[in-house]
Chain A
Amino acid sequence: MFKMNKAAGKKGVKLCAALLTAVIMITGCSSGSGGASDGNWVSIEDRYTVDPEKPAWQLDKKEEVTDLTWYVNADWWNTDFGKDIVTKKIKEDLNINIKFITGDDTKLNTFFAGGDMPDLLTVFDSNSPVVQKAATWAMPLNDLAEKYDPYFNKVAAADTLNWFQLADGKTYGYPNYSNTQADYDSGNIPAKTAFIIRKDVYEALGSPVIGTPEEFENVMKQIKEKFPTLIPFGFNSIGEGTGSLGDTLQDFIGVPLETENGEFYDRNQDEDYLTWLKTLNKVYRDGNISDDSFADDGTAFEEKVKSGKYATMLLDGTPQQGGNLQIYLSANEGKEYVAIDGPQSTKGNAPTLNQSGITGWMINFISKDAKDPAKAMQIFTYLLSEEGQLLMNYGIEGETYKKNADGTVELLPAVKDLQLHNADKFKKEYRMGEFMFFGHDRHKALSADAFPEAIKQMQEWGKGKLKPHFILENISPNQGTPEARALSAINAKWNSTLVSMVRAKDDASFDNALAAYKSFLGENRWDDIVKIRSEKMKQNKEKLGIQ
């Protein structure tokens, strides 16, 4: 019932309206929402001369501390700066002070409307107009590098820069966790998906193979008999998406990414995949999938992982669940989860597990209103360089980690101990692995400490099963188009359809749910969406140089 009344005018109604319009026009236009100017190209003549062989932060002689505001479009971002080992070092090395602002899309809109842009900006959705129209409000990284810090080009991945190029041939944003083909080929990126089973359950059943739908069904029944307190099969929380029963399961059984002639393939209606959904439905009807699994949110799912409630899981995001799996393992030696081959394609396809793609995750920009774009650029270079990456992941050599003779990195015992036993304190004082604006998985491979013990076997299992999904990235219709609206309706429909199918009472209702989804596609511009997607896939292949 709390209504904030907006400006109550003091004139007649018409006058009031006219005045309001005028005010909006004046404020809206005079603030020039970052569109009119071409950036704040400060001079660095009296500070330093650029050197392509040396990062600019080492050359910059600017005396006073540079204050920067950095907006992160996520409410969960930890806004502390300079209190922990990692950010303290950044603060000292670059002589900066960062004030973080967090928020969601609403807050982001107010920035653009109010014209008060922060110096740096991080967003998550590469399809959003903010990213697509970055040229209007952000400064091009290519020019920034040339003018202030050419060393940037040494530490940034060329493929990633190309991928983010806009129509004017320039790149404005740079992401973290962007994996190129070379990264996939190097074998340094760990898989993050696995079908896992509790070791005690697995051994009690005599290490069964769970490859075919029939085997899967039977093993679930056996689990129910022998371990009545456990839920035989679990999956990531459904929430807004499809948990791990959508793309993750499709990747797990190796559903093709494209049609034979390189066009968009509707993986949701793949026969192989539907066979497995039917199997899951049978398992559900046997009472071996819990109704709670569909209702649990992320937190509830995590609590179940922590307490080992599920006998088997199709888990996406093993590193994200690493902490919980580790907690469970520490308390239940010998009952830990292990990855096994699990469900296989009924058509003989090999798994094509997905990892973070070339689009990455958080995309970082320097805005045209940046007070000192040279400093901002130095931050990019610093965090992308080997030094910055090591700092972000492992802290400071001698203080928190040591380098071994073979080039690997090891956290010092005291630090490791804190990480395991007092996570809150570790987060406050060390904060390693969290300041991830330019993080990349390749540096995780340097250390045995990068991942908890609990998931190492799962990552080992996933070796050689990854396949880049680059061609499928950013192929949705542009935001604001009727097709984009139709697609979001379709996605929502698919989520509910998937749940209805797995929870169907009998084969007829399973088929009905699927048929309803198919007719929904027909009513919602599906053909147009497929066209757009095929077209965008073609463009992706051109960008990536794939034939």
Chain B
Amino acid sequence: MNGKVAKEDLDSRIFDTLNIILLVICTVIIVVPLWNVIISSFSSGKALAEGGFIFWSPEFSLENYRAVFNDSSIWQAFFISVSKTTIGVVTHVFFCAMVGYGLSKKYIRGRKLYVAMGVITMFFSGGMIPTYLLIKSLGLLNSFWVYIIPALFSFYDVVILMNFFRNVPDSLEESAKIDGAGDWHIFLKIFIPLSMPAMATIALFNGVGQWNDFMTTKLYITDQSLYPLQMMLYEIIVQSQTQSMQNIGGSAVIETTTKGVQLATIVITTLPIVLIYPVLQRYFISGMMLGAVKE
């Protein structure tokens, strides 16, 4: 008996040790390049050119950051990024919660049809050009709202919320109704507070997505004052690839950005989301699975 326990103990310890080793390896693989980008962005051009360092730069300098922040458009882009992310996340979560709340009620008429329609959109989309035409005829080209309105709804998020709301006991709703609460009141005062973990999960998903998204800008925005940070980063990175373009004309010279400036921009664009992530992380862990299992 005792031997068996000890054996299990040993087994689980071996298992745990292997797990830890594996996870450490994974972490190192991810962290080292990140660290290298950060360190390189604080390096002088000379040190970068000579290369050869991984963890610590031989020559520190803030020159790259000075160059990036000197560009006035980066502040405008930062403002756009922050506003599109905050407005986008709040509206998206609220909108999806409303839809999810409605669809979580069994007495809704046509619920099956709505869900079926939603599921279809999860697998099929109109494609790039039809979507472009739609956005164009909605008059959303070159408008800030193109970041918000098309991103309001995601059926994937609705499903998560729907299942979450279903797990709230029906008796709660019934007793509230008896006390004279209306649908809005119940939704806002009871269901939403109870579903905070799920909300935070979706907010995080969507927030990271909004922050990192540049395709929307690339397709629908030509006005530079509406560029978010990611688009600036995209342009800076792309600039550096011009040299490798084939058949560059005669003696045409295109000035490209240096590697240091690219790295500094990467750090600046990624930092905010990296800082916010741990704050929401705890909700994320609890919320992700909560709505997944039906009672």
Contact = CB atoms under 8 A, between A and B. Distances in A.
Interface of A: 1-9, 12-13, 16, 20, 23-24, 27-28, 31, 74-76, 79, 101-104, 106-107, 109-110, 113-114, 116, 124, 175-177, 179, 189-190, 192, 237, 239-241, 297-304, 306-307, 309, 317, 319-320, 322-323, 355-357, 359-362, 423-424, 427, 433-434, 436, 439-441, 444, 450-451
Given A75-B235, A76-B254, A114-B132, A356 B156 contact: no
B259 interface: yes
B213 interface: yes
Nearest to B259: A299
B50 interface: yes
A105 to B, nearest CB: 11
Interface in B248-270: 248-256, 258-259, 262
A9 B121 CA distance: 9
Interface centre among A303, A307, A322, A356 (most CB of B within 10 A): A303
15 contacts: A1-B208, A2-B205, A6-B126, A8-B155, A12-B117, A20-B130, A24-B133, A103-B218, A106-B218, A113-B133, A241-B246, A307-B46, A320-B254, A356-B247, A361-B249
A115 B245 CA distance: 29
Contacts of B255: 323, 423, 427, 434
A8 B134 contact: no
B256 A298 contact: yes
A177 B239 contact: no
A300 B49 CA distance: 7
Nearest to A452: B253
A192 B240 contact: no
Contacts of A5: 121-122, 125, 150, 153-155
A306 B239 contact: no
Contacts of B137: 27
B211 to A, nearest CB: 9
A306 B121 CA distance: 52
Contact of B252 (A8, A79, A439): A439
Contacts of B83: none
A302 B243 contact: yes
A423 B67 CA distance: 13
B53 to A, nearest CB: 13
B155 A441 contact: no
B121 A436 contact: no
Given A8-B118, A303-B49, A317 B248 contact: yes
A196 B218 CA distance: 41
B46 A299 contact: no
Interface string B195-229: 00000000001101110110010110010100000
Contacts of B189: none
B218 A76 contact: no
A190 B256 contact: no
Contacts of A124: 245
B48 interface: yes
Contacts of B224: 79
B136 interface: yes
Contact of B117 (A9, A104, A176, A306): A9
Dominant secondary structure at the B interface: helix
A441 B118 contact: no
Interface in B8-32: none
Contacts of A433: 253
Contacts of A439: 249-250, 252
Contacts of B50: 307, 309
Given A319-B251, A357-B247, 7 more contacts: A23-B130, A24-B126, A76-B239, A297-B241, A303-B258, A356-B249, A434-B253
A118 to B, nearest CB: 9
A15 B232 CA distance: 41
Contacts of B98: none
Interface of B: 45-46, 48-51, 67, 113, 116-118, 120-122, 125-126, 128-134, 136-137, 150-151, 153-156, 205-206, 208-210, 212-213, 216, 218-219, 222, 224, 234-235, 238-256, 258-259, 262
A298 B213 CA distance: 26
Nearest to A238: B244
A129 to B, nearest CB: 15
A3 B222 contact: no
A440 B128 CA distance: 38
A27 B250 contact: no
A302 B249 CA distance: 18
A265 to B, nearest CB: 20
Contacts of B113: 12
Ranked 10 nearest A-B pairs via Cβ: A361-B249, A2-B209, A177-B249, A298-B243, A319-B251, A239-B244, A303-B49, A177-B250, A356-B250, A307-B49
A75 B234 contact: yes
Contact of A361 (B131, B134, B218, B247): B247
B126 A299 contact: no
Contacts of B117: 8-9, 12-13, 16
A76 B242 contact: yes
B241 A6 contact: no
A444 B250 CA distance: 10
B251 A190 contact: yes
A427 to B, nearest CB: 6
Contacts of B116: 13
Contacts of B46: 307
Most A-side CB within 10 Å, residue of B120, B133, B241, B247: B247
Given A79-B224, A103-B218, A303-B259, A441 B250 contact: yes
A362 B254 CA distance: 13
A3 to B, nearest CB: 6
A103 B220 CA distance: 11
Nearest to B234: A75
A427 B254 CA distance: 11
Nearest to A237: B244
A317 B150 CA distance: 45
Given A13-B120, A79-B224, A299-B240, A320 B250 contact: no
Nearest to B205: A1
A3 B152 CA distance: 10
A240 B244 CA distance: 8
